[in-house]
Structure 1
Amino acid sequence: MQFTEFNSSNDLNENFAERVAGLLSAAIEKNGRASLVVSGGRTPLPFFQKLSQADIAWNKVAITLADERWVDKNHEASNTALVLNNLIQNKAADATFVELKTSEESAFGAEPSVEANLQKLSFPIDVLILGMGEDGHTASLFPCSEQIQQGLTSEEVCIAVQPTTAPHERMSLTLKSLLNSQQIFVHLVGESKKAVLDKALAGEQVSEMPIRAIVKQNNTPVEVVWAAK
């Protein structure tokens, strides 16, 4: 795992956007298309806005989320809305967005529909950007959920999850899908997140802190980008 510290979140966002745009452009040049998987929440929004202005062939980029709450896109908890309003804008408006949320009432049982949607992406994922919760979860692989072992071991592309410490059913890419990437980034801001990362690096039990399955493996390159504030 590579750890890169920035002086400020603004420096991080500018440098990170340039780095990701470069990787996507290289993938397009090599394969004719590129895939980008992002995470929701508030932390990546300024980064999304920077990336959306990158001068690359966005019409050849497919974007999806690492996980999504099972809510409509007009719901305040929708990560889809965050991506549409902050990343699929400006020059990136030409990108293809692949939604994880489908019309099914429940995430449980919707996995085949979501997996079919994800066929629009090219695997391995060219760039995967993850966040991390205070409990060490990443994507929607929550240590508190009954589905955690399945999420960590399943051969499937995605899995429905019901966390016990957070609201809403979720759809999440499985660990196997997350690791099926050319480059993984973990985007963190704040001293508290650095403390959680340090705790994760100091232990071994993956089901206790699922982020360990990302940062403590050696098959897919991982870089943590971090700023204190």
Structure 2
Amino acid sequence: MALQLTTFKTADDAAQALALQVSKDLHQVLAQEQERALLLVSGGRSPLPFFAALAQQPLAWENIDISLVDERSVRPDHPDANAALVREHLLCGPAAAARFLPLMSHVAAATDPWLWARRSVQVANANPALVKPAVIVLGLGTDGHTASLFADAPQWHEATTTERRYVALQPGQAPHARVSLSLHALAAQHACYVWSGGAAKLEVLRRASTLAAAVADGSLDAATLDGAGAIARLVADPGVILKVYHSQF
């Protein structure tokens, strides 16, 4: 179990620091004579300062692929599409030279969001370009979810036990069917960055750490972690390091 928490006063400070670290990681992968490096990012509006900072980093962007940790089952121009935010706020400036790999496939099932999500999972799991990320940057919900691993989804058990990389979920309290990295895929990365901000999310991290420690010393049953969300499951995994960049404001 390892949760490395670095706290910053503002979101801009956190964004600049995380962008610099991610840039170093991507540069190192490319320097190891790998032809391409894959970066997976989370959507939503909270990471936009990080996107803006990362887009200006001096990298060989033409050799970098960018895709998503999770996506909503909506068309790419929909206001809730994570892809739309990435295209607008990350694929700009120097980073415009990167190649974007969307998670939602181009299939006729787009009129049925759940069918489209399940088909897109099949396509993503068969795509060799999405197999080996160099860097994963996760978000964090106040309910403890990360990626789109919502504990209230009927597919929660499958999403947290399957060895497939991508899964389809239907969150109970969040809109839209989703495509998401599975818990196994996140744990297999071994080290992930987490973008976080505000007192409520800091409390989520503290609770996850407390529960994980209790599970580790045997004073708490591991099943309790499900109620604290996917982030608690990752914190409790001895093979995972979460490097959290947290802004106070």
TM-score by length of 2: 0.87
Higher helix share: 2
In the other structure, the counterpart of 2:85 is: 82
Q: How far does the alpha carbon of each residue in 1:16-44 deviate from its partner, in whole angstroms, 9 at most, with x for none?
A: 11111000000111123211110001111
2:158 to 150, 159, 172: 150
Alpha-carbon offset, residue 221 of structure 1: 2.8
2:37 to 34, 43, 59: 34
* Pairs aligned (count): 227
1:185 to 185, 190, 193: 193
Superposed counterparts of 1:214-225, under 5 Å: 214-225=234-245
1:100–1:114 CA contact under 8 A, matched in 2: yes
Equivalent residue of 1:207, what SS?
helix
Alpha-carbon offset, residue 176 of structure 1: 1.5
Equivalent residue of 1:19, what SS?
helix
In the other structure, the counterpart of 1:199 is: 207
CA 1:66/1:55 → structure 2, altered by over 3 Å: closer, same or farther? Answer: same
Instruction: Choose 1 or 2 for highest CA Rg.
Output: 2
Equivalent residue of 1:144, what SS?
coil
| CA root-mean-square deviation | 1.4
2:39–2:64 CA contact under 8 A, matched in 1: yes
For 1:110, give the aligned amino acid: S
2:42–2:139 CA contact under 8 A, matched in 1: yes
Alpha-carbon offset, residue 88 of structure 1: 1.0
Q: How far does the alpha carbon of each residue in 1:179-204 deviate from its partner, in whole angstroms, 9 at most, with x for none?
A: 23263011101111111211222224
In structure 1, list runs of 5 or more residues that go unmatched: none
In the other structure, the counterpart of 2:218 is: none
Looking at structure 2, the residues matched to 176 and 78 of structure 1 have their Cα atoms a distance apart, in angstroms, of 24
1:67–1:140 CA contact under 8 A, matched in 2: yes
TM-score by length of 1: 0.94
Superposed counterparts of 1:12-31, under 5 Å: 12-30=14-32, 31=34
1:120 aligns with 2:129: yes
1:126–1:182 CA contact under 8 A, matched in 2: no
Taking every aligned residue pair, what percent have the same amino acid on both sides? 35
